[in-house]
């Protein structure tokens, strides 16, 4: 279609599922900080004044005594000090246990066998030229609105706000490019007594600061707390589980998803590391000018080191380069085995807590190795290979 609308949503760090993701990734960082080769698959459930951990780990016993403190600190940093969910008062249960020996046998290197994938599965990466971050505009704006509100809450600028919030942005596209918002929805938890009018005015400032000039939706399509009140929120209002916001974590529905969650998993799990690698490759393809949109799919089998398939889709009837040739070139540039991905992107580090909210993609790489999959260091080599 030459003209259409597309919608994506985001949820804040205080959303119940994101609280669970934050705790799970904090446990991953705890283990990787003590041993870069540690194995972690940590699932978290949060509900009214209760935090429950389950899953499998393999790493130093010395860190086990720190798990509860790490979990409570994650909740405290988000800002939960409510009667129904409080970082200090919540009941804590830890049911983490040793990793299955059968899984370890398939994943570990032995003799001439390289490390295998931690599970079978398909992973997708995507990039497009709609934003500077090479992310789809609807999810990019949705994340940025909530990050702006959270920054105001943490700084004390907006003390009437509480941690739980959601946003949804619908953009109108003309000839494949976004041109403006047709509707914006923001639901944010707030202290009791805040009026709807005051909340609407507060949220409007943050929405208008994120959207490009002239892109604000019509007044009648700007929705703030449509139910009229949002005082009870977070895990007290709705139970949260690790890994339930996989579309929020990735591309907002603008690209396929393999189905595997990221948070709580160490980088031997290709659900996480291969999805990062696929984004890394797709972003470099678009940044090099080889395509306006790029989707990459990787497929793995448990215990097998090499990917079973590397599929490249450049979106269009007449792509600028041959997708199969590009697939071969990318595989020559980056070793897509689980070990190769971890080494190329430097993933065996405690860099994951920061990924647990506002998306795993479209962020800026940091000096300590965080968001390394957002680097565009393959651009020059790709341009040279394809004569661009």
CA 105-351-259 angle, 5° bins: 60
Task: Tell me the backbone φ, ψ of residue 106, rounded to 5 degrees.
Answer: -75, -30
Q: Report whether 356 belongs to an annotated binding site.
A: no
Q: Report whether 229 belongs to an annotated binding site.
A: yes
Q: Report whether 230 belongs to an annotated binding site.
A: yes
Q: Does residue 208 have an active-site annotation?
A: no
Q: Does residue 18 have an active-site annotation?
A: yes
Q: Does residue 129 have an active-site annotation?
A: no
Q: Report whether 164 belongs to an annotated binding site.
A: yes
Q: Report whether 238 belongs to an annotated binding site.
A: yes
- Name 355's Cβ contacts closer than 8 Å, sequence gap at least 6: 25, 262, 263, 363, 370, 371
Q: Does residue 317 have an active-site annotation?
A: no
Torsion-angle region of 214 (φ positive above 0: left; ψ -120 to 50: alpha; else: beta)? left
Could you give the C-alpha distances from 362 to 101, 131, 186, 189, 250, in angstroms and in order? Answer: 36, 9, 21, 26, 9
CA 91-34-31 angle, 5° bins: 45
Q: Does residue 245 have an active-site annotation?
A: yes
Q: Report whether 17 belongs to an annotated binding site.
A: yes
Q: Does residue 88 have an active-site annotation?
A: no
Q: Does residue 238 have an active-site annotation?
A: yes
Contact call for residues 379 and 281 (beta carbons, < 8 A): no
Catalytic residue among 35, 114, 129, 238, which? 238
Catalytic residue among 35, 50, 56, 375, which? 56
Q: Report whether 56 belongs to an annotated binding site.
A: yes
Q: What is the DSSP letter of 62?
A: G
Q: How far apart are CA 250 and CA 167, in angstroms?
A: 15
Task: Tell me the backbone φ, ψ of residue 105, rounded to 5 degrees.
Answer: -65, -35
Q: Report whether 147 belongs to an annotated binding site.
A: no
Catalytic residue among 147, 269, 272, 344, which? 269
Could you give the C-alpha distances from 341 to 82, 140, 270, 360, in angstroms and in order? Answer: 41, 26, 9, 16
Catalytic residue among 34, 54, 239, 301, which? 239
Q: How far apart are CA 75 and CA 208, in angstroms?
A: 29
Q: Report whether 43 belongs to an annotated binding site.
A: yes
Catalytic residue among 144, 245, 272, 279, which? 245
CA 379-383-387 angle, 5° bins: 180
Exposure on the CB side of residue 115, measured as CA atoms within 13 A = 19
Q: Does residue 166 have an active-site annotation?
A: yes
The kind and range of the H/E element at 128 are strand 121-128
Q: Report whether 66 belongs to an annotated binding site.
A: no
Catalytic residue among 141, 230, 262, 371, which? 230
Q: Does residue 43 have an active-site annotation?
A: yes
Catalytic residue among 13, 15, 141, 236, which? 15
Catalytic residue among 9, 13, 17, 115, which? 17
Q: Report whether 368 belongs to an annotated binding site.
A: no
Could you give the C-alpha distances from 377 to 275, 353, 370, in angstroms and in order? Answer: 18, 24, 15
According to DSSP, the residues that pair with 122 across neighbouring strands are 299
Q: Report whether 244 belongs to an annotated binding site.
A: yes
Catalytic residue among 266, 271, 313, 374, which? 271
Q: Report whether 306 belongs to an annotated binding site.
A: no
Catalytic residue among 58, 190, 244, 272, which? 244
Q: Does residue 140 have an active-site annotation?
A: no
Q: Report whether 269 belongs to an annotated binding site.
A: yes
- Please state the residue numbers annotated as binding site for K(+): 43
- Please state the residue numbers annotated as binding site for Mg(2+): 17
- Please state the residue numbers annotated as binding site: 15, 17, 43, 56, 99, 164-166, 229-230, 238, 244-245, 261, 265, 269
- Please state the residue numbers annotated as binding site for ATP: 15, 164-166, 229-230, 238, 244-245, 261, 265
Instruction: Just list the catalytic residues.
Output: 15, 17-18, 43, 56, 166, 230, 238-239, 244-245, 265, 269, 271
- Please state the residue numbers annotated as binding site for L-methionine: 56, 99, 238, 269
């Amino acid at each position: 279609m030459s003209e259409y609308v597309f919608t994506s949503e985001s949820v804040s760090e205080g959303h119940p599922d994101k609280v669970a993701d934050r705790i799970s990734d904090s446990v991953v960082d705890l283990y990787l900080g003590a041993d870069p080769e540690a194995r972690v698959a940590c699932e978290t459930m949060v509900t009214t004044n209760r935090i429950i951990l389950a899953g499998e780990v393999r790493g130093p016993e010395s860190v086990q005594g720190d798990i509860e403190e790490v979990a409570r600190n994650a909740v405290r940093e988000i800002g939960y000090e409510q009667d129904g969910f409080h970082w200090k008062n919540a009941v804590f249960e830890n049911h983490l246990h040793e990793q299955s020996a059968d899984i370890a046998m398939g994943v570990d290197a032995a003799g001439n066998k390289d490390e295998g994938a931690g599970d079978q599965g398909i992973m997708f990466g995507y990039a497009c030229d709609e934003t500077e971050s090479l992310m789809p505009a609807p999810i990019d704006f949705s994340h940025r609105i909530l990050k702006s509100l959270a920054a105001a809450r943490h700084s004390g600028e907006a003390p009437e706000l509480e941690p739980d919030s959601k946003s949804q942005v619908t953009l109108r596209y003309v000839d494949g490019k976004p041109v403006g918002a047709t509707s914006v929805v923001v639901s944010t938890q707030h202290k009791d007594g805040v009026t709807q009018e005051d909340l609407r005015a507060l949220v409007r400032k943050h929405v208008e600061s994120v959207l490009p000039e002239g892109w604000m939706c019509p007044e009648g399509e700007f929705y703030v707390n449509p139910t009229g009140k949002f005082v009870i929120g977070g895990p007290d209002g709705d139970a949260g589980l690790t890994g339930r916001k996989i579309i929020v974590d990735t591309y907002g529905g603008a690209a396929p998803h393999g189905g595997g969650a990221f948070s709580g998993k160490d980088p031997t799990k290709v659900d996480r590391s291969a999805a990062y690698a696929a984004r890394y490759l797709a972003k470099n393809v678009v940044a090099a000018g080889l395509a306006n949109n790029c989707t990459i799919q990787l497929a793995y089998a448990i215990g097998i080191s090499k990917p079973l398939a590397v599929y490249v889709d450049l979106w269009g009837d007449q792509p600028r380069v041959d997708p199969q040739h590009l697939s071969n070139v990318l595989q020559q540039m980056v070793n897509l085995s689980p070990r190769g991905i971890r080494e190329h992107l430097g993933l065996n580090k405690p860099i994951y807590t920061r990924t647990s909210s506002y998306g795993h993609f479209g962020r800026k790489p940091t000096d300590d190795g965080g968001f390394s999959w957002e680097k565009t260091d393959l651009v020059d080599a790709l341009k040279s290979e394809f004569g661009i």
